Amino acid sequence: MARMSYISSVERYHEYESVIHSLLTSILISIEDGLTKERDTCYLVRQYPFLELQYCLNDKGQQQGNNVCFKRAYRKKLATSGNQQDLSKRPYFLQAQRSTAVCFTDPYISIATNHLCISAIKEIKTPINHQCYLVIDVSLTQLIEFLMGDSARANMTPYFKAGYGVIVMCLFCLVLYLLSIVFSDIYSLLTNKEIGSDPLEPFSIIIYITLALAVFDLGKTILEEEILMHKDIFRHSSTRRTITRFISTVLIAISIEALLTMFKAALGQSEYLMPAIAMMLAVVGLLIALAIYVYLGAKAEILLMRARLMQKPSK
pLDDT in tens, 158-211: 888 899 899 999 999 999 999 999 898 888 877 875 555 566 667 778 878 888
C-beta of residue 153 within 8 angstroms of C-beta of residue 2: no
Average pLDDT, the chain: 80
pLDDT tens readout for residues 249-275: 788 878 888 887 887 777 777 788 888
pLDDT greater than 80 at residue 239: no
C-beta of residue 92 within 8 angstroms of C-beta of residue 55: no
> Among residues of the chain, what percentage have pLDDT more than 90?
9
More confident: 133 or 301:
133
pLDDT greater than 60 at residue 315: no
How many residues can be counted in the chain?
315
| pTM for this model (two decimals) | 0.63
Reported as half-sphere exposure (CB side, CA atoms, 13 A), residue 197 has a value of 6
pLDDT of residue 129: 59
Strand partners, 121: 103, 135
Instruction: Compute the distance between CA of residue 67 and CA of residue 53 in angstroms, rounded to an integer.
Output: 6
C-beta of residue 87 within 8 angstroms of C-beta of residue 75: no
Average pLDDT value for residue range 1-8:
70
pLDDT of residue 34: 55
- Would you put residue 102 in left (φ > 0), alpha (ψ -120 to 50) or beta? beta
pLDDT greater than 70 at residue 213: yes
pLDDT of residue 127: 61
pLDDT of residue 177: 94
Domain ranges across the chain: 6-151, 153-311
pLDDT greater than 70 at residue 285: yes
Instruction: Compute the distance between CA of residue 239 and CA of residue 39 in angstroms, rounded to an integer.
Output: 43
pLDDT of residue 172: 94
Query: Topology of 6-151 in CATH?
Result: Beta-Lactamase (3.30.450)
* Of the candidates 186, 56, 63, 181, the residue with the CA atom closest to the CA atom of residue 124: 56
Burial of 195 by CB count in 10 Å (0-12 exposed, 13-18 middle, 19+ buried)? Answer: exposed
pLDDT of residue 284: 92
pLDDT of residue 234: 66
Q: Where are the strands (E) in 51-97, listed by range? A: 51-58, 68-69
How far, in whole angstroms, is CA 226 from its chain's centroid? 9
Instruction: Compute the distance between CA of residue 166 and CA of residue 267 in angstroms, rounded to an integer.
Output: 42
Phi, psi for residue 62 in degrees, rounded to 5? -95, 135
Instruction: Compute the distance between CA of residue 71 and CA of residue 139 in angstroms, rounded to an integer.
Output: 10
pLDDT of residue 36: 46
The SS3 assignment for 78 reads helix
pLDDT tens readout for residues 18-58: 889 988 988 888 777 554 454 555 667 677 888 888 888 88
C-beta of residue 43 within 8 angstroms of C-beta of residue 24: no
- What count of other Cβ atoms lies within 10 Å of the Cβ of residue 90? 16
- Strands 51-58, 108-109: pairing is unpaired
> Among residues of the chain, what percentage have pLDDT more than 70?
84
